[in-house]
Amino acid sequence: MDKILFLGCGSWGAALGLVLSKNGYDVTMWHRKDSIVEKMKDSRKHYLIPSLHFPDNISFTSDAKTAIQNSSTVIISVPSQSIRGLLQKYSNSFKKEQTIVNVSKGIEVDTLMTVSEVINDIMGDQFRRVVTLSGPSHAEEVISDHPTTLVSASTNQDAAYDVQQLFATEYLRTYVNNDIRGVELGGSMKNVIAIAAGVCDGIGFGDNTKAALLTRSVSEISKLGVAMGAELKTFQGLSGIGDLIVTCLSQHSRNRKVGQAIAKGQDLETILGEMQMVAEGVKSAKSVHQLSLKYQIEMPICEAVYQLLFKGKDPRQLVTNLMTRELRKEN
């Protein structure tokens, strides 16, 4: 049976690790802090989600080097902005025949690389089994065995199908897609839109506003994605519209909670300081702003989120600005 390593064991990594353990795989969860590793070893509970109990075929370690060397599949589940540093530290421990799976959603600030591009940049072309697993999913619901769908995306179709098989259960269904750039862009940009959705909730707007936000956001995301070489149909699928819906509407969404708190008057630094988990949309808002300028794509909603987060603009005024722009055709 394959040995699976999770580099990072936050809520999403832990939820996926639980799936693989139920499928009979030997799973190791890595965390950089010895204290957290020991806590999970002793309690058999997740350090952020006490209701998550780990079965006996999940082990824990803070020794990334040895764990990487002993695994056939390495799943990267740390925040996207931390991946470059992690891989630079441990790149020599990987073997080129290993499958590297990214389950994080973000665009690296300044380099404007997706996670798979960061992996390729650090690891080199000899690593040909790089896959991104994405889609509309919250850890809390996967842990509870709620029916969920994901997308296994890679330019290497054999690797994509292998990951599809890994995550096949009665309640988790995974599809294959060869447009890894589109899948990653959709998964990253929807976090930015979720902040805007939270602002709508925080102000007290209703269903009309949320419907307009989601629909017009699909247009923005698709235009930038296509300009970057992704396929339009990807943004109409699970990693596009699907992920956008779940992140913008769910009570579990960290990014939505950030927008909601800002609309109620809290400052960003305080909000992020009080969160136990990372809201990827904050850093991705800066990356998307940079990408929109680079590719000369007008993205008024994403730009409004950027202005809200990094320029301190008033959320109500930003909404007014969006609604009073020059009138135009829908498409």
| pLDDT digits 0-9 by tens, 149-162 | 999 999 999 999 99
- Residue-wise pLDDT for 301-328, tens only, equals 999 999 999 999 999 999 999 999 999 9
Q: Which residue has the higher pLDDT, 2 or 16?
A: 16
Catalytic residue among 190, 257, 283, 286: 190
Q: Among candidates 187, 177, 257, 171, which has minimal Cα distance to 225?
A: 187
Q: In terms of C-beta density within 10 A (0-12 exposed, 13-18 middle, 19 or more buried), how is residue 248 classed?
A: buried
Contact yes or no for 219/186 (Cβ under 8 A)? no
pLDDT at residue 251, as a whole number = 87
Distances (CA, A) of 241 to 26, 95, 186, 216, 220: 34, 35, 8, 11, 12
Q: Is 97 strand, coil or helix?
A: coil
Q: At residue 44, does pLDDT exceed 70?
A: yes
Q: Known catalytic residue: 311?
A: no
The mean pLDDT of 244-252, rounded to a whole number, is: 93
**What integer is the mean pLDDT of 48-56?**
91
Looking at this protein, which amino acid is placed at residue 230?
A
What domains appear along the chain, each with residue ranges and CATH number?
Answer: 3-178 (3.40.50.720), 181-323 (1.10.1040.10)
Q: Per-residue pLDDT averaged across 77-101, rounded?
A: 96
Residue 203, Cβ neighbours under 10 Å: how many?
15
- 2: Cβ contacts below 8 Å, ≥ 6 apart: 25, 26, 72, 73, 166
Query: In the prediction, which pLDDT does 1 show?
Result: 59
* pLDDT for res 4: 97
Cα separation, 272 vs 61, in Å, equals 27
Per-residue pLDDT of 170-215, as tens digits, reads 999 999 999 999 999 999 999 999 999 999 999 999 999 999 999 9
Spatial separation of the C-alpha atoms in residues 127 and 120, rounded to whole Å? 7
> Are 285 and 106 within 8 A, CB to CB?
no
Q: Look over the chain and give the mean of its residue pLDDT values, rounded to a whole number.
A: 96
The contacts of residue 303 (CB under 8 Å, 6+ apart) are 289, 292
Which DSSP symbol is given to 26? Answer: E
